Structure 1
Amino acid sequence: MRSAKGQRALRPVLCGVRTIWDAVGDGAFFCPGCGGDRNYRRLTGRRRLTVLGVPLVRRGETEPVVECAACLTHYAPEALDRPTTTRFSTMLREAVHTVTLAVLAAGGTTSRTVLEAAVATVRDAGLDDCTQEQLFTVVEVLAADTGRGSGSDPAAEACGPTLAIELHEVLAPLAPHLATAGRESV
């Protein structure tokens, strides 16, 4: 059936199944369809048999979905597992800072050149206010945590328990989201 302008005329739907969505939460996520940080709504749905657009009989529940507020595409709730761009940037900054501390704690604080390179690396990662004194102080605190005095050889001992825990806490959530080259770079 075509209208005068050659467009298809809409036919009324006599009966069908329609999903009625209820919003149960919202927030921000990385939308795979839009390719950026977007707002979302978490939805649960109920299917209904409709006749002439009027819902009559329940047809069951649907799986919960996440709806992008921009493109209105529905995704499985697992889409929320991917960090937003903002969160991912923060995770990278924290990882670079912690790995730099681990390198310095392994014996890099004795050289001014190493400290300058460490500060440059941390600043390049986005922590613009980082100084040599701050890094040196944190490494000294970490050395005291392990029971090492400043007179012992820090390269001879492994990272302290606090630094090892921090490395694990910072790198474990980041690793699944990095490509191989990114993991090697960190």
Structure 2
Amino acid sequence: MFFFLIWGMKVRFKTVSNGTFFCPRCGGDRPYTRRVAKRWFHLYYIPLFPVATLGEQIRCDVCQTSYTEAVLSRPTSGQLSSLLIDGARGVVVHVLRTGSAQSADARAVAVTEIARAGLPAYTDQDLSADLGVVPGDLSQLLTSLGAQLADTGKEALVGSAARVALADGPLTDLERQVLVSTGATLGMTATHTAGVIAVAEQSARA
């Protein structure tokens, strides 16, 4: 009588969490499943015990593509939209604090720019509140945005702040310094930022 011992190894996945992420393949926000992969010893096709943990993967529930955990570092479209709004409010407040906070023209342009960024109901009263609470250091926010935005997005933020600063007259040295610093923190070169500022100045003179 012969006995055949059927054994082997097989990778099995266990779901440990779920969430929403930006799927690069789908090109939008999608639900995901976080799974842990382990190699199991099988005897007669029955998994007996794990022999190794192979790591985690993030699988899109829509297209079924699997990614490493690094894919979760990219914000979802909703999160990026919120970051953009916070960025617009931050840079506008920063440039207003350099001396234009009492200018009716500058404040009106500031409200328009922030409304255009994604807060259509934004008012001058909201602007006054932001002037009192927006932190003085936006480097972390702007650095995060700069890592996610294309050049057009960075230009939009600097251009928005420049239009606010120019609403009550030519740029002061301090206003220009704030704009240049904003561009640098977003990851723009000095030449790139200067070009965006020059376009805003030309438009203001027209």
- TM-score, length of structure 1 as denominator length: 0.70
Q: Which residue of 1 aligns with 2:104?
A: 112
Bigger fraction of residues in helix: 2
Unaligned runs of 5+ in 2: 1-5, 158-206
Question: Is it true that 1:170 corresponds to 2:162 in the alignment?
Answer: no
Q: CA deviation at 1:40?
A: 1.0
Question: Is it true that 1:101 corresponds to 2:99 in the alignment?
Answer: no
Q: Deviations over 1:55-112 (max 9, x none)?
A: 4785522121111111121100001000000000000011001111111111122322
State the distance in 2 between where 1:138 and 1:81 align.
28
One-letter amino acid of the counterpart of residue 93, structure 2: L
Q: Which residue of 2 aligns with 1:151?
A: none
- Range moving further from structure 2, 25-34 or 102-111: 102-111
Query: What is the aligned-residue identity percentage?
Result: 30
State the distance in 2 between where 1:170 and 1:70 align.
31
Q: CA deviation at 1:42?
A: 1.0
Count of residues in correspondence between the two structures = 152
What does 1:154-165 align with in structure 2 at a 5 Å threshold? 163-165=135-137
Question: Is it true that 1:36 corresponds to 2:7 in the alignment?
Answer: no
Q: Which residue of 1 aligns with 2:189?
A: none
- TM-score, length of structure 2 as denominator length: 0.64
State the distance in 2 between where 1:133 and 1:172 align.
28
Residue aligned with 1:134, SS: helix
| Greater Rg over alpha carbons, structure | 1
Residue aligned with 2:146, SS: helix
Unaligned runs of 5+ in 1: 1-13, 143-161
CA RMSD in angstroms, aligned pairs only:
2.5
State the distance in 1 between where 2:116 and 2:44 align.
62
